[in-house]
Homo-oligomer: A and B are copies of this chain.
Amino acid sequence: MSEENPLRDQILEISRSMLFNEGYKSLSMRKIAKKAGVSATSIYLYFENKDHLLHTLIEESVEDLSRFIEKKALPVGNCIDRFKAIIHAYAEFGITYPEKYEIIYKVRPDSMARYPKEKFRKARRAYELLVKTIEESVEKNQMDVDDPLVAAYSIWAQMHGIVSVVLNGRLDSRINREQFIDDSIEHVIQGFLIRAAVT
């Protein structure tokens, strides 16, 4: 993270908090600079432009997410339990660190189309872990999955949908937040386990 420069780090921290507290639209280079007690153009000494600044924030968050999941799931020996641990950890990260999670998906640097691939794959370790866990579960005949790569992506997508509906406050007011998360996780998991035909 910190590349030996305090101002650079400070800019990132201020950006992150402003992004979370005041939203994407009102985040401006000038405001960030003012809060850092520095002129607006100084930011350009450390970041090529606004998109690169935002992209750096995204990368940091993706890295944090990967580390969080690895810490919770890597020690788990049984592959089905590890599978569940990964899914739970994903949701827990989103709910616990919304300001980090939201940056991953909510922020849209418009130039993102230009440079996503390598940088994005970089911190995809958690995803790779999920793929391998699914592969192991399939081998042991404990999971009903055609293609682990596809299944992992699907789970990732489903979990993102679940977490983001909660974070965006779009949840129906009649619905209890914790119940929604737990139920959803349970159904996502059930969707991939071996099942016997219904009679």
Contacts and interface: CB of A to CB of B under 8 A. Distances in A.
A158 B146 contact: no
B192 A187 contact: yes
A178 to B, nearest CB: 11
Contacts of A113: 169
Interface string A23-64: 111100000000000000000000000000000000000000
Interface in A109-168: 110, 113, 116, 120, 144, 146-147, 149-151, 153-154, 156-162, 164-165
A72 interface: no
A188 B158 contact: yes
Contacts of A190: 144, 190-192, 195
A183 interface: yes
Nearest to A109: B25
A154 B174 contact: no
Interface in A61-111: 106, 108, 110
Nearest to A127: B172
A199 B196 contact: yes
B165 A160 contact: yes
Contact of A183 (B151, B164, B196): B151
A171 B174 CA distance: 34
A162 B191 CA distance: 14
A140 B37 CA distance: 65
Given A23-B110, A196-B196, A157 B164 contact: yes
A100 to B, nearest CB: 18
A197 interface: yes
